Amino acid sequence: MNLPNKLTTLRIILVPVFIVFYLMGLNIAAVIVFIAASMTDYLDGYLARKNDMVTDYGKIMDPLADKLLVTSALVCMVQTWVVPAWMVIIILAREFLITGLRAVAAGKGIVIAAAWSGKIKTVTQMIAIIFLIINNWPFSLINFPFARIMLWVALLMTVYSGVEYIYKSRDLFKDM
């Protein structure tokens, strides 16, 4: 297993660690684990492309690891009343929809590459989650709702990127 794939696997392993820390109320430990896991998302892709180490495992597991990390954090935040359930439902629906769309495309021998809007969606979700975990600090000191704003930006990017993927893949629906 190459280094990028090990980093992807590490991100998956860190998900339950994050969940335990977060649900135990250990927010500093939870945010450290979440940030470390989030950084592996950038690093594994960078290393895989730079060193020509792109593998089928990475193509499948990297986006899955991202979804596991982000959706686990958001579901935990619903349980602790930090994020409204309806927002998480929209985010989860988009993830399931695009994953299904990619599966249909793969069945036809088509690869749907990650779009920039999807990458921005993931980054905005991760930023929102980080600041939600730490109760909007340091912005809470000046009563600026940065975490909430980022959550809304993430939600809008989630919807936008989902619509963009569907629109760009509209030819897949012609045979239906």
pLDDT tens series, the chain, 176 aa: 899 999 999 999 999 999 999 999 999 999 999 999 999 989 998 999 999 998 888 888 888 899 999 999 999 999 999 999 999 999 999 999 998 898 888 888 887 777 899 989 999 999 999 999 999 999 999 999 999 999 999 999 999 999 999 998 888 877 66
Structural domains of the chain, ranges and CATH numbers in brackets: 3-173 (1.20.120.1760)
Q: Is 135 helix (H, G, I), strand (E, B) or coil?
A: coil
What's residue 55's pLDDT?
87
Alpha helices in 51-145 (DSSP H): 56-79, 85-107, 116-133
In Å, how far from its chain's centre is CA 20? 19
